[in-house]
Structure 1
Amino acid sequence: MLYRVQLFKFFTSIYDHIFRIRQAEKLSNVRKTSTLLILATIIIYGWMAYLGIGSSILSGGVAELGAMEYETSKLWFVIGRMIYGALFAAFLLFIPSLIFYLITEIPYGKLAIMQQVVLAVMLIERLLWIPLALFAGLDWFVSPLSFGIIASYITEIDWFIYFFGAITLFQFWIIWFQYRFLHTLSEVGSRTLWAFILLLHVLGWVLAGTIAFADSYMIGRWFE
């Protein structure tokens, strides 16, 4: 049985597609879909940077820089975000797939499809956040869809706010989806799957918080 990846149709009948992936002997369109998702991530992150989203610290340096230097800084900011988007997409597509492959022995290509769905959902989340950033001035870590806004009332420690800001309603859906996908395609016990999935996500939130903290620190140091 041949399964051809059609990402948008996947969301219309998730259970049916998961079952078809389980039965599939050959997969088609996996590499093309991964490439398109990486390109889409680069475009979205570049567009967000062009709109000035996430550049509040950068904007604070306009008084210290001349007009040409500031425009050059903005250009490098956009390029940096595009590179970050490419690395983020590649990491999300390939690294978790490898980890789950070692745990479940599900064919790597099928796990790559799972992560393609995960990346697509995260890109949708990013697109939904753009109007919140533009019209309400909300940073990603205090989005109403995340727990960062609650954390900001409890603590002023930036890292913790970034950490909880990475935990969103979309993340809960992703956790459920990964469990359903892996549980259907493997014989690994439910408790083991839940443990590995949750551990991987907690590590991801820790990494997101650390990168966001380091990112703001490095941009701030740029203008010292």
Structure 2
Amino acid sequence: LVIGGELSYNVRDLSGKFNKKKFFEKEFYPVSLFYLGMTTLKSAYRMVLPNMTMLSIYMDYYNQLNKIEGNASRYVPVYELYDSNRSFEPLVQNYFEQYLGQFPAQVFDKINENFIRCSFYELVSRYLSHCYTFAIEQNNSVGRSDFEMIGIPGTDYYTDDRVVEFKYYRSKDADRMLALTEPLAEHVEQVKGYAEDTKKKFPNYNVRSYVVYICANKGWKCWEV
């Protein structure tokens, strides 16, 4: 769910008599999670996480399973600085170095953009949920934006809106992508379309857009466009 973004199921198991004996068997997990209210149905074949709160719970559990340290000392200095300079790039750097930097090299051929979106959201929301609301794959007229953080009315962050397009590249492509001095044109066009749509909906907001490349464990790039 945190990597693939969804879970397949079959209707017969879901609509049939509930089987307590199978509740903790791996192949029955989709049904068990659904009955616990921890997933919701996307279609007749696939289920997804129902909301951002549940996403945070899943990501926190994933971090515990993989012994990813959540010590605030890794993150707080960067978020304290964000209060004064509102610079988004150091948040990406901190995420790459302090969070992704804890994973062994072999993990980076298994994770994908969905995992990057989810784990970045979980980290940022730990420290900025008092001043922003967040959205992942936000629907708009030109598609679905990867990540958005919207300033909460009544806070100093009101009217601050950041729209981010994440791209994830595995080790074999890392050197090529890290050598770029600017993001690819299609990615710029993509995130600008999302930003323009957000601006139409919230004309009083200052909308800033970014393209972020995470290149396995080799490096990262972040451009404001």
Q: Taking structure 2 as the reference length, what is the TM-score of the superposition?
A: 0.27
Q: Which has the higher helix share?
A: 1
Q: Which has the higher strand share?
A: 2
Q: Taking structure 1 as the reference length, what is the TM-score of the superposition?
A: 0.27
